Amino acid sequence: MATLPEVSAIEQAALRSDRFRLAREGDWKRLEAIVSRIEKGQLRRLSDEDVLALPVLYRTVASSLSIARETSLDSATLAYLESLTQRAWFQVYGPRQSLWTWLGRFLGGGWSAAVRAMSLDVAVALAVMVAGVAVGWLLVASDPEWYFSLVPGQFADARVPGASREVLQGTLFGNDGKDPMSAFAAYLFSNNAQVSILAFALGFAFGIPSLMLLVQNTATMGAMLWLYNGQGLLIDFAGWLAVHGTTELFAILLAGAAGLHIGRAMAFPGDKSLLQATAEAGRRASLVMAGVVLMLVVAAILEAFARQLIDNTAGRFTVGGFMLVFWLAYFFAFRGRNDGAASP
C-alpha cells in the first residue's frame, strides 16, 4: 500500500525530468542519511549493509547528477545533487585511514623514506650545524665577552668564563642522588618541540631563517664546548651532552632540513608548478616533522632520567652512541615495507 501514492506521484508529474527525479530520490535520500551519520562520527553504528552500499550509492548519485545536468532545469535538484555528491565524495575519497594504520605505515617505512628523500637537505643542515659550532667556539676563543651574547641566561648560571674546574665539574656530575625530573623533561620536550616546529615553519622564507636558527642554536653549544675545554673537561661535557644530545640534535637537524627542503622546493621548483612543488615538499617535510616530535620525546626522557642515573662519562657515551647508531640505522639502512611512501 505504501508504494502506491509514490507511483501515482511519479505518474502525475508533468515533466519528464521530474519523473526522472521522483524515480531516483529514494537512493539519494538513503545516501544522504548514510553520509550524515558518517559526518556525525557514527561510522561504527552504521550497518554493514549501509557501509557496503556507500560507494555504490555514491556512483548512482554521481551518474544521476550527470544525467540531470543534461536533461533537467530544476536548479534546486541540481544544487542538491551537487552538494550531496560532494559530501559523499569527501567520505568515499576522504582520509579513511585510521590513526593506527597511518602510524603503522609511518613507523614501518614512511618516515625513513621521507628522511632519505631529503638527504641533500640533511647534509646541508649538518654542515651548517657543524659550522655553527665552529663559529661559536672561534668567536668566544677570540673574545670571551661573546660568551654572554651567545649563551642564554638560563645556561650561564655557574657556567661562565673564569669559572673554576670544580664548579664546572659539579654541573656535569653528582646529580645521581636527585629524583628523576619528570616535570623538567616535559618542559624540555615542549620547549624543544616548539623550537623545531619553528625551524621547520621558517623554511617558508626560502629556508634561510631555518639555517640561521640552526647556526644560532649550535653556536651556543660551540661556546659552551670552548668553556669546558678551557678546564680540560671537553670529553666529560661531550658525554654529558651525548646522552640526549645525539637524539635531540638529530631531531633539530631533521627539523632544519625539513624547513630547508620546503625552501629549496620554493626557490627551485624544477619542472613542476611552484604550488605543486611546494605542496609535495611540504607533505614530505611534515612527515619528517611528526617524527621529529617523537624523537624529542625520547630526547627529553633521556635528558631528565638517563643523565641523572648514569654518572660517568663512559656510560653516557655508550647510551648516546647507541641512540645515534640506532637512528642512523633506522633512517638510512632500514627500508621498510613501502619504499617511497613519502607522498602516498
Q: Is 93 in the site for another protein (CB under 8 A)?
A: yes
At closest approach, how far in Å is the CB of 127 from another protein?
A: 24
Q: Is 305 in the site for another protein (CB under 8 A)?
A: no
At closest approach, how far in Å is the CB of 31 from another protein?
A: 11
Question: Which 3 state secondary structure label does DSSP give 326?
Answer: helix
Q: Which is nearer to another protein, 87 or 307 (CB)?
A: 87
DSSP structural state of residue 180: P
Asked if 251 contacts 327 with a C-beta cutoff of 8 angstroms, the reply is no
129, 139, 168, 202: residue in contact with another protein (rule CB under 8 A): 202
**What's at 152, amino acid-wise?**
P
Q: Which is nearer to another protein, 261 or 316 (CB)?
A: 261
Residues 31-60 binding another protein (CB under 8 A) are 32, 38-39, 41, 43, 59
d(CA 152, CA 207): 24
CA dist 283 → 39, 89, 115, 298, 344 (Å) = 25, 22, 12, 24, 10
At closest approach, how far in Å is the CB of 119 from another protein?
A: 19
Q: Is 187 in the site for another protein (CB under 8 A)?
A: yes
Choose one: 152-160, 244-252, 276-284, 330-338; the region binding another protein (CB under 8 A): 276-284
Burial 94-119 (b: 16+ CB within 10 A, else e): eeeeeeeeeeebbeebbbbbbbbbbe
d(CA 249, CA 214): 10
At closest approach, how far in Å is the CB of 286 from another protein?
A: 4
Residues 55-74 binding another protein (CB under 8 A) are 59, 62-63, 65-66, 69-74
At closest approach, how far in Å is the CB of 317 from another protein?
A: 28
Asked if 327 contacts 99 with a C-beta cutoff of 8 angstroms, the reply is no
